[in-house]
Amino acid sequence: MTNDMRLGTERTDSFHPSGVPMESTVCGQQELHNLLDVLRPYGTARNPVGVTDIKQADSSPAITNIIIAGPCSVESEDQIIATAQALAQVPEVKMLRGGIWKPRTRPDAFEGRGEQGLVWLREAKLATGLPIATEVATPEHVELALKYEVDALWIGARTVVNPFSVQQLADALRGTDIPVFIKNPVSPDLNLWMGAFERFQKAGLTRLAAIHRGFAYYKETPYRNYPMWEIPIELTRRLNVPLITDVSHICGNRELLQATAQKALDLATDGLMIECHINPDAALTDAKQQITPDELKVLLSNLTFRSKQSCNVERDLAGLRGEIDDIDSELLQLLARRMEVSAQIGEYKKRNNVTVVQMDRWKKILADHVATGEEMGLSPILINKVFEAIHQASIERQGRIMENEEDSH
Ligand code: PEP
Ligand code: MN
């Protein structure tokens, strides 16, 4: 598919980056509107996001598999124009991203080109017909992004953690209905993510989508940001919004991109955000995770796009499996705690010369558990087996304490 087919084109007088007037293609307003319209959440003004209806399978096939690509940061005119032109040759790419204001961990790092970058980003849009998206973190960013006709905005993970900032952005956007993509907060806090949606929704914005970019995690992982897939799945279960997966910020390196993008598609993501740079190794930010437009082509051609129906099954199962994992981990912690208390009882019995097995007490406890379990719909066989095993392990531990082989710590 050519770019013309993708968005439709109009001839306008425009200026080439070099300053030489040229005939360029820009997307026709109607086509652009249609494209962005697919980002409208399944909810409507009467039935907005925030309601708990579950997204219908295949309710909006048009939104499936939107690819947003572009550099982490807009660095120079040549860089963004060359990247955009190469991406415009990839039919699946529907939108060009480019960071203008970069939230950096350390103060002396490259913090983006600011307003000058918007001039170049808009040139890239005029040159290719691709709609453009950028990150906004302050009302001033919003004002400038709107001035330079940015087509969609995203709110970064570091901004979504701060309800004051989110509210300021929502207020700044009141009266517009530009698509806003809300990234998950850095911390795995579903309510905080949902709260951001509610703030924009209350400000009257209806074209909201979620971007999953992974979460800061305390353990070593191969990912830059741990995906915790169950969180975006639960978000889309609670809020009727499309989900885009930013595989670049989840992975943090090129090697994991392919498998992670496939996983996202298997879980019924509605689109992918992938950082692309004409010369990734020379990128001023996030060099390790960016790929060339040619590499993007290969990545996309190796993906299996599944039917929404079967993806929904996977997504539902992944959500439920995540819940099982959480419950199992709670069970393990509870068992460890129980064993610790039981060991303290062992110490007490030893000090006071009491026998380990207090059979009458145990029989009563087990009978109570079986009765309570039955009220909860659990079979007596299961309760007997589980608690006999737990009891047995406790007795063995207390026995070892009695024999001075172990203490409770
Ligand atoms: C980005 O998209 O370039 C970015 C800074 O992302 P995040 O907010 O997810 O870290
Ligand atoms: Mn980045």
Atom 8 in ligand 1: residue holding the nearest Cα? 156
How distant, in Å, are the alpha carbons of 25, 122, 124, 340, 347 from that of 119?
A: 17, 5, 9, 64, 74
The alpha carbon of 285 and the centre of ligand 2 are apart by a number of angstroms equal to: 6
Please give the full DSSP string across 146-205, using - where no structure is assigned. Answer: HHTT-SEEEE-HHHHT-HHHHHHHHHHHTT----EEEEPPSS--HHHHHHHHHHHHHTT-
Q: Which of 136, 169, 249, 276 to mutate to test the pocket of ligand 1 (most atoms within 8 A of CB)?
A: 249
Q: What is the pTM of this model?
A: 0.70
Query: Which neighbouring-strand residues pair with 95?
Result: 68
Burial class from Cβ neighbours inside 10 Å (0-12, 13-18, 19+) for residue 265 reads buried
Structure tokens at 208: 């909201």
pLDDT value of residue 9: 33
**What atom of ligand 1 comes closest to residue 72's alpha carbon?**
3
**Residue 405: CB partners within 8 Å, gap ≥ 6?**
none
Structure tokens at 314: 């996977």
Q: For 83-96, how does the pLDDT look when each residue is reduced to its tens digit (9 = 90+)?
A: 999 999 999 999 99
User: Which residues lie with the beta carbon below 6 Å from any ligand 1 atom?
Assistant: 72, 99, 103, 135, 156-158, 183, 213, 246, 249
The alpha carbon of 187 and the centre of ligand 1 are apart by a number of angstroms equal to: 14
Q: Which residues of the chain have pLDDT under 50?
A: 1-32, 35, 40-63
pLDDT value of residue 409: 60
State how far the Cα of 281 lies from the Cα of 278, in Å rounded to an integer.
Answer: 9
Question: How do beta strands 66-70 and 271-275 pair?
Answer: parallel
The length of the chain is 409
pLDDT value of residue 361: 86
Residue 404 Ramachandran class (φ > 0 left, ψ -120 to 50 alpha, else beta)? left
Q: Which of 113, 213, 226 to mutate to test the pocket of ligand 1 (most atoms within 8 A of CB)?
A: 213
pLDDT value of residue 138: 98
**What atom of ligand 1 comes closest to residue 99's alpha carbon?**
3
**What atom of ligand 1 comes closest to residue 102's alpha carbon?**
5
**What atom of ligand 1 comes closest to residue 211's alpha carbon?**
9
